[in-house]
Chain A
Amino acid sequence: MRSEDIAVKIESLTKRFGDFVAVDNINLTVKRGEVFGFLGPNGAGKSTTIKMLCGLLLPTSGRGFVGGYDIMKESEEIKKTIGYMSQKFSLYDDLTVEENISFFSGIYRVSNSKKKERMEWVLEMSGLKDRKGAITKTLPGGFKQRLALGCAVLHELPIIFLDEPTSGVDPISRRNFWNLIYDMSKAGTTIFVTTHYMDEADYCDRLALIYRGKIIAEGTPNELRREHMKQNVLEIETDRFVEAMEILQQEGIEAAIFGNLLHAVVADARIDIPRVKRILESSNIRVARIEKIPPSLEDVFVTLIESA
């Protein structure tokens, strides 16, 4: 692949904090214009990786390139070409919406002619047009986020890094947020997102799954579903699902709770549906419904983690 097509390249990147290895020898490539998702539970190493890519943290070993620039030696150049939204979406609480936008415009040296236009753009995309004089502290979480995103991208940069941009935000706002991300992607921006919400995985072009500092899977959502889940997933509806899970696990069947349903991973649905039913009913657990469902990424992930 030509280097202009690759936005981010990581080779054997490692970060150690004392004895603790936060990021363990990872390799990744992100193509230009992609929406790349970096998934994993909390503490897996997502934030640490993003901070290294943005030049906020020095790696212990390994190499990385963002926009062609070396993350160890050219971090200031990188900062000129990227937008970053930190996990705490740190806007200035005591500034108004407008003042925050104006501040970041100044920092990114948006030219005077474009300034007004970009201000309008951010107000529009964050839905804060009629609240531009509001003090940021008073905004609800969803709006703060969109505003933070707006401020991070207002200078039309080619690559954006978003660190858990949707944490703690209601589902509707989350959908809106991802719509925004799509729009930017369509315009050619490369977007590198971390999240711990598995359902957001489907929104990405490509994903990497990270667990305890190591990348345990990589690919498009479908690839992941296909390749890593040769098994079938059964969805079981029963009122005593906790007991049911324990019983199945004792039988050597992988089972996990999803909401108030049970997902069990089996080798072959045709054989195992009756088998599971038998096991549960012989323990006097009534099964209301049992059927094969397509594996969600969450299933994939749980399986991968268990085997890791």
Chain B
Amino acid sequence: MKFLRIKAIAKKEIIQIRRDPLSLAMAFMMPVILLFIFGYAITLDVNNLRTVVYDQDRSSLSRELVAEFRESGYFTVVGYADTHKDIDKYLDSGKAQVAVWIPNDFSKNINTGKNAELQVIVDGSDSNTATIALGYITAISELYSQRIMGGRITPLIDPRVRVWYNPELKSRNYIIPGLIAVIMAVIAALLTSLTIAREWERGTMEQLISTPVKTPELIIGKLLPYFFIGFVDVALSVIMAVFVFEVPLRGNIFLLAVLSSIFLFGGLSLGILISIAAKSQLVASQISMVVTFLPAFLLSGFMYAIANMPKPLQVITHIIPARYFVSILKGIFLKGNTFKFLIFETILLTFFGLMVFALANKKFKKRVV
């Protein structure tokens, strides 16, 4: 392998990248935009549940209960129903997600020492929100129970809960490190998956393969500039995460840099492999979408916990590199993991990168057909 040829290929690629400022801008904008969306726009925290109240009792007790719900901050009363049918209308139209139905014997029962019934209906079509809403409702009604008893009964078992790593349960802290992994997986593919196919389409590849340039030289020469760009993207993401979104970075930043590089190498090589296999940019883009974007998004554990997936799917996630990178990032950011905790993931990522690189080299033929 000759360094001079690698340098020539890398230099050419850099010139071409510079002459396409739009793509370059997009490559840098993507992490920024995504981080902003996840950091500011989105939250998994559930608040402001639209609630309709059907109070058949209309007593001071029932009003107090409604006030409990309202003041928790989780529920927003959007209307009061006069009939049972009203509840249907509110829920069907989506005007309300929760309906609180207090029957007319509510206060009577409480005052005579009997159990009082409280009906709550949630819109189950968004089961995520519904589950969480139910949790809130249970908690609020229990607290209210205790209060009206005079607050003297302390339950025999007092559960003390401690939340580790993310004490305020800020969903942001949990999402952003994983998000960086997903962004990097996507960007790596976007950067390199078209590059070789493009040269075939334009005819310059035919010229290139008639020269003495060797396949590894070609691939490495192409990887280098994109590696640099990818690394800048990682740095940009980490800086934003720490300084703009105040996600704690408890681990070693050097370790983060090294492991990110290993992951990048694998992701970029995968893009090159796709480019070689596809031969046309259209096909390459479609393959890219299926092989990198979707698995990174859905099966990496970033958004949806792997433990909740059915077993066969869990097995499949083992071959998705983004999965390990998500663990690594969460570990370094939130848990302050040192290298010894991440050895397994590191080995896998290294292995993946080398294997894909080797495959790309093997698949590329210096022939036209």
Co-complex (A, B): yes
In B1-29, which residues have CB < 8 Å from any A CB? 2, 4-5, 7-9, 11-12, 15-16, 19-20
Segment among B71-79, B200-208, B263-271, B307-315 that sits at the interface with chain A = B200-208
Nearest Cβ in chain B — how far from A148, in angstroms? Answer: 8
B368 touches A79 (CB 8 A): no
Nearest Cβ in chain A — how far from B169, in angstroms? Answer: 50
Cα A108 to Cα B366 with chains together (Å): 16
B367 touches A106 (CB 8 A): no
B212 touches A76 (CB 8 A): yes
Cα A54 to Cα B368 with chains together (Å): 11
Task: Tell me if B369 is interfacial: C-beta within 8 Å of chain A.
Answer: yes
A106 touches B4 (CB 8 A): yes
Task: Tell me if B354 is interfacial: C-beta within 8 Å of chain A.
Answer: no
Nearest Cβ in chain A — how far from B201, in angstroms? Answer: 11
Contact of A103 among B12, B202, B206, B209 (CB under 8 A): B12
> Which residues from chain A contact B367 at a C-beta distance below 8 Å?
55-58
Known interface pairs A94-B20, A95-B15, A106-B11; A84-B210 also in contact (CB < 8 Å) = yes
B5 touches A106 (CB 8 A): yes
Cα A57 to Cα B365 with chains together (Å): 10
> Which residues from chain A contact B4 at a C-beta distance below 8 Å?
106, 109
Contact of A108 among B204, B212, B368 (CB under 8 A): B212
A86 touches B19 (CB 8 A): no
* Count of chain A to chain B residue pairs whose CB atoms are closer than 8 Å in the complex: 87
In A77-96, which residues have CB < 8 Å from any B CB? 79-80, 82, 84-86, 88, 90-95
> Which residues from chain A contact B277 at a C-beta distance below 8 Å?
none
Cα A105 to Cα B212 with chains together (Å): 12
Known interface pairs A103-B12, A106-B8; A84-B368 also in contact (CB < 8 Å) = no
In A89-147, which residues have CB < 8 Å from any B CB? 90-95, 99, 102-109
In A47-63, which residues have CB < 8 Å from any B CB? 51, 54-58
> Which residues from chain B contact A95 at a C-beta distance below 8 Å?
12, 15-16, 19
> Which residues from chain A contact B125 at a C-beta distance below 8 Å?
none
Contact of A91 among B7, B204, B205, B210 (CB under 8 A): B204
Cα A94 to Cα B19 with chains together (Å): 7
A88 touches B12 (CB 8 A): no
Known interface pairs A57-B368, A57-B369; A92-B12 also in contact (CB < 8 Å) = yes
In B164-214, which residues have CB < 8 Å from any A CB? 202-214
A99 touches B368 (CB 8 A): no
B202 touches A93 (CB 8 A): yes
Cα A57 to Cα B211 with chains together (Å): 14
In A1-58, which residues have CB < 8 Å from any B CB? 51, 54-58
Residue of B nearest to A99 (CB): B15
A90 touches B5 (CB 8 A): no
Nearest Cβ in chain B — how far from A304, in angstroms? Answer: 29
Interface size on A, residues (CB 8 A): 31
- 0/1 interface trace, chain B 209-224, chain A, CB 8 Å (1 if under): 1111110000000000
> Which residues from chain A contact B9 at a C-beta distance below 8 Å?
106-107
B15 touches A86 (CB 8 A): no
In B73-98, which residues have CB < 8 Å from any A CB? none
Q: Which of A54, A56, A79, A107 has the most CB of B within 10 A?
A: A107
Residue of B nearest to A76 (CB): B212
Cα A186 to Cα B5 with chains together (Å): 30
> Which residues from chain B contact A94 at a C-beta distance below 8 Å?
15-16, 19-20
Nearest Cβ in chain A — how far from B202, in angstroms? Answer: 7
- 0/1 interface trace, chain B 351-369, chain A, CB 8 Å (1 if under): 0000000000000001111
Residue of A nearest to B211 (CB): A107
B15 touches A79 (CB 8 A): no
B15 touches A108 (CB 8 A): no
Nearest Cβ in chain B — how far from A213, in angstroms? Answer: 16
> Which residues from chain A contact B15 at a C-beta distance below 8 Å?
94-95, 99
Cα A85 to Cα B208 with chains together (Å): 10
B211 touches A108 (CB 8 A): yes
> Which residues from chain A contact B203 at a C-beta distance below 8 Å?
86, 88, 90
Cα A169 to Cα B4 with chains together (Å): 34
> Which residues from chain B contact A93 at a C-beta distance below 8 Å?
202
Known interface pairs A56-B367, A57-B367, A109-B4; A90-B12 also in contact (CB < 8 Å) = no
B210 touches A86 (CB 8 A): yes
> Which residues from chain A contact B205 at a C-beta distance below 8 Å?
90
Contact of A99 among B5, B7, B12, B211 (CB under 8 A): B12
Nearest Cβ in chain A — how far from B113, in angstroms? Answer: 85
Contact of A90 among B16, B204, B213 (CB under 8 A): B204
Contact of B212 among A56, A103, A107 (CB under 8 A): A107
> Which residues from chain A contact B208 at a C-beta distance below 8 Å?
107
A88 touches B211 (CB 8 A): no
Contact of B8 among A51, A88, A103 (CB under 8 A): A103
A86 touches B211 (CB 8 A): no
> Which residues from chain B contact A58 at a C-beta distance below 8 Å?
367, 369
Cα A152 to Cα B207 with chains together (Å): 9
Nearest Cβ in chain B — how far from A138, in angstroms? Answer: 13
Cα A167 to Cα B59 with chains together (Å): 95
Q: Which of A56, A84, A85 has the most CB of B within 10 A?
A: A56
A106 touches B210 (CB 8 A): no
B202 touches A90 (CB 8 A): yes
- 0/1 interface trace, chain B 289-315, chain A, CB 8 Å (1 if under): 000000000000000000000000000
Known interface pairs A51-B368, A57-B369; A90-B206 also in contact (CB < 8 Å) = yes
Nearest Cβ in chain A — how far from B22, in angstroms? Answer: 13
> Which residues from chain B contact A91 at a C-beta distance below 8 Å?
204, 207
> Which residues from chain A contact B20 at a C-beta distance below 8 Å?
94
Cα A103 to Cα B11 with chains together (Å): 8
> Which residues from chain B contact A106 at a C-beta distance below 8 Å?
4-5, 7-9, 11
Q: Apart from A56-B209, A90-B206, A103-B8, list 13 A-B contacts with CB within 8 A.
A: A55-B367, A58-B367, A76-B366, A79-B210, A84-B210, A88-B203, A90-B207, A93-B202, A99-B12, A102-B8, A106-B5, A106-B7, A107-B213
- 6 interchain pairs, CB-CB under 8 A: A56-B368, A86-B207, A86-B210, A90-B203, A92-B204, A109-B4
For the complex of A and B, the 3 pairs showing the least CB-CB separation, nearest first, are A106-B8, A84-B210, A88-B203
